[in-house]
């Protein structure tokens, strides 16, 4: 079989592997939530809670969460790279390099937020399920993430994530090394763009499957070319309003 004849099969296998990883990650998260003794809202079920409190336990959990929540947002970027594979000198290895670089960036964030969770638990600011222990901390998180939606940093980073084709045309590098470099850069922009929605896990508990699902869905929509830029500020407004209401209720 010629190389040209193999390309459609290789493309199909590549995409199936991506979606298989995403599905497997969600299955693992569901199993981890059940093992931790929480329901889909992250609330404890009975007396069989097994909270994770060490970095060694939390980092793998966050790594799986990154695969489940962020790889779906990568689909438009990978599709744009594929379009350039015929017009430029892109390869399937370069495509895989983009995917790998993107995920490495989010693994770095997983390490940071896992360490932050350990520190916050040591301070008593969040409980063993990763949920804020006070309404004021919940309000502060909502206000901070909401305000970030109006910043220039959010706008710039979202612009890179929202229009990956433009990024590729400006920073194009061929081969697996080039793909890895571009994936790391795009992953870095994505981390800066979406870190807040990960931090919001501390509002209701990081093992809340409902939060994971809603956050993933929103981040996917936020990156869609047709509507993504229209969602940023309304979402920020909703988060700020929620934070103010939470603060008022906590002080009442």
Q: What's the CA gap between 40 and 212, in Å, rounded?
A: 10
**Degrees, nearest 5: CA angle 97-101-103:** 120
CA distances (Å), 116 to each of 68, 98, 137, 138, 184, in order? 20, 27, 14, 16, 22
pTM: 0.89
For residue 46, the model assigns a pLDDT of 61
Three-class SS state of 2: coil
What residues of the chain score a pLDDT lower than 50? 1-2
Chain segment 159-200, per-residue pLDDT in tens: 888 888 889 989 888 889 999 999 999 999 999 999 999 999
Q: Determine the pLDDT at residue 61.
A: 93
Q: What is the reported pLDDT for 2? A: 44
- pLDDT per residue as tens digits for the range 16-29: 999 999 999 999 99
How far apart CA 234 and CA 228 sit, in angstroms, is: 11
The number of helices, as runs of H, and strands, as runs of E, in the chain is 11, 0
Q: DSSP of 211-247, one letter per residue? A: HHHHHHHHHHHHT-TTTHHHHHHHHHHHHHHHHHHHH
């Amino acid at each position: 079989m010629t190389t040209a004849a193999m390309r459609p099969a290789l493309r199909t296998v590549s995409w199936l592997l991506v979606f298989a990883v995403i599905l497997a990650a969600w299955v693992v998260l569901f199993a981890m939530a059940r093992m931790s003794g929480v329901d889909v809202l992250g609330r404890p079920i009975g007396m069989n809670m097994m909270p994770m409190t060490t970095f060694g336990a939390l980092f793998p959990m966050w790594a799986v969460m990154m695969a489940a929540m962020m790889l779906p947002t990568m689909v438009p970027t990978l599709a744009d790279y594929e379009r350039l594979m015929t017009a430029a000198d892109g390869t399937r290895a370069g495509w895989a390099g983009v995917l790998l670089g993107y995920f490495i960036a989010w693994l770095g964030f997983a390490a940071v937020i896992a360490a932050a969770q350990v520190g916050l638990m040591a301070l008593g600011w969040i409980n063993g399920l990763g949920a804020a222990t006070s309404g004021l901390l919940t309000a502060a998180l909502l206000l901070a993430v909401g305000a970030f939606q109006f910043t220039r940093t959010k706008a710039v980073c979202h612009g890179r994530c929202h229009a990956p084709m433009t990024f590729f045309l400006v920073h194009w590098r061929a081969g697996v090394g080039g793909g890895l470099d571009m994936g790391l850069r795009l992953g870095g922009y994505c981390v800066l763009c979406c870190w807040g929605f990960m931090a919001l896990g501390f509002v209701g508990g990081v093992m809340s499957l409902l939060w994971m699902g809603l956050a993933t869905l929103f981040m996917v929509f936020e990156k869609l070319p047709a509507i993504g830029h229209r969602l940023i500020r309304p979402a920020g407004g909703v988060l700020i309003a929620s934070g103010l209401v939470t603060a008022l209720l906590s002080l009442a």
